[in-house]
Every structure is written in C-alpha cells, then in structure tokens.
Amino acid sequence: MALIQVDYTSSALFRTVTLNVVLPIDKFDYAEGKYFNTGKKFKTLYLLHGLIGNYTDWITGTRVQRWAQEHDLAVVMPSGDNSFYTDNVLPNNDYGRFIGEELVEITRAMLPLSDRREDTFIGGLSMGEFGAMRNGLKYRDTFGRIICLSGALHIMDENCDQLKNEQRVFVDYEKDKETDKNPAVMIEELRRQKEEGKDPLLPKVYISCGLDDGLLGVNQRYRDLLKSIGAEVTYNEYPGYAHEWDLWDMEIGNVIKNWLPLGEANDGVNSGNVRGE
C-alpha cells in the first residue's frame, strides 16, 4: 500500500496545501513478482477531517489505510483547517471550490484515479461530514455517494461558540443560512427540481451517529429531509457511542467493506501476508 504525502500549490486557497493519499497501486504476487493494479483507474474516496484536525487524522485515528488496501480504494485526505469546507468571505479561502472542484481535478491529473461519478465518493466526520454533505450535494455531478459520520449539521441552526472567533467562516449566520453554504437550502432546491419534473441527480447517502452524541437529533433530521426528496439513505444509530474515534473507526470500515460499490480485489504482498494469497 502506497501512502503518499502530496504538497501542491492551491489556486482556491492561494497557498501550498498538504494531503495524504492512500493508493493501493503496489500490490503484487509473491511468486511471480507481478503487480496486479498496473494501469488501473481507482475508485476514490475524498475523506474530510473534523474541527481542529488535519490531513493526518484519518490515518492516525482509524484503520482506513488497511481497509482501502484490502478493497483497492484510493483515499484522498486534505486539510480543511476550521473552514467547514465552504467558500469563506476572506480572499483565498475558497474551501468549497477547493474540495468540490480543484482537489478532484488535481488529484486525477496526478494519480491513476477514475473520473467517473459512480466511482467518486466524499465523506467526513463531524465538521468534515458537514463539508461532505454540503459539497457532495453542491457538486453532485462529481460525487455519486456521500458518507456522513456524526455530522455537525447543526452549524447553520445556531451561532456556535466554537466559531465565535472564526469570522472568516460565517460572518452573518442569518444571511449565510439562506445560501448554498447551508445543505438544507440545497435539499429544498433539489426538492423543487423534482417537483418540476427534473432529475436532480441525487447521490446515495450513508449517515450514522452514536445514540449518546449531542448531534443525534440533527442527523436524524437530515436523514428525514433527504428521504423526503427521494434520496437513497442508509442510516445507522449505535448505542454506547458518543462523538468519538471508536465509532468513526468502526463505521469507515463498515462503509468501505459493505456500502461502497468496490467489488473484489487481489490481496497482494503486504505486512503479515508475504505469500500474497
């Protein structure tokens, strides 16, 4: 399994940005020394961290690298600062465009990634889940599936103390919550499109949350909102879990192993499996 750190100059953010990429390109057969995935275009998950985190969180907090290797999934993990992955008011802070357009374009140019919508997914936890929902819906022509773990979807419903000093994110809540920074606004726009007989190109959505998480109610509300417009939603609640890595580790495994359309993959040589069988 190749774990790649990428530094590149971002147009949307006007600075050098860093991301981790898991790329299962180096799997080979022990007996023949033949690489299995030469020439393959990988299905890709763009995976977003939560508040105060960075591009290392998913690698250090979960077993995502192992499961991506087992299922031939590329995983791209950027840093989003505390931006909630939306286009901010200050110049050179277009985090929505960074995630929904630029990151996909640049990683596809750099790496052997599929350019098909049905092979391209976005997900995240907490703040990252807000970013996944918002950008997954806004750029739904790019992302075929959205993964929402313990989503901080309440952010447009209340002026959170955690963001009182982050003025570049939401300067005017009353104004911003009426724009496409608010996923609920986009859901209503999709509803209108359906009522007009248009195909809104709805992604499939996976939502989960711990029963002891204070964000449970808002995740239930978004489940119901999405179902009300005909979106295909898989929803899970877990007793004994709050807002915590144990849940996110378990759930990213469930998503990769059971929900994403990944198919069969060769094992290849790896640590603990020298024979590659």
In a domain, 153, yes or no: yes
Range scoring the smallest mean pLDDT among 14-23, 77-86, 171-180, 242-251: 171-180
In a domain, 59, yes or no: yes
Q: How far is CA 52 from CA 130, 206, 244, 267, in A?
A: 14, 24, 14, 35
Pick the more confident residue, 272 or 151.
151
Q: Domain containing 212: what range?
A: 2-259
Domain tally, the chain: 1
DSSP 39: T
**CATH code for the domain of 243:** 3.40.50.1820
Pick the more confident residue, 132 or 154.
132
What distance in Å separates the CA atoms of residue 146 and residue 128, rounded to the nearest whole number?
11
Are β-strands 2-10 and 15-23 bridged in parallel, bridged antiparallel, or unpaired? antiparallel
CA 137, 143, 146, 152: dihedral to nearest 10 degrees? -50
- Assign residue 46 a region (left: φ > 0; alpha: ψ between -120 and 50; beta: otherwise): beta
Nearest to 156 by CA among 206, 88, 84, 94: 84
Task: Specify whether the CB–CB gap between 148 and 222 falls below 8 A.
Answer: yes
For the residues 113-129, what does the mean pLDDT come to?
Answer: 97
What distance in Å separates the CA atoms of residue 169 and residue 277, rounded to the nearest whole number?
49
In a domain, 268, yes or no: no
In a domain, 272, yes or no: no
- Mean pLDDT value across the chain: 91
What pLDDT, in 10s, does the model give residues 194-241? 999 999 999 999 999 999 999 999 999 999 999 999 999 999 999 999
What distance in Å separates the CA atoms of residue 103 and residue 90, rounded to the nearest whole number?
20
pTM of the entire predicted model: 0.94
Give the pLDDT band (50/70/90) at residue 167: low
Task: Specify whether the CB–CB gap between 24 and 2 falls below 8 A.
Answer: yes
What percentage of the chain reaches a pLDDT higher than 90?
75
In a domain, 97, yes or no: yes
In a domain, 271, yes or no: no
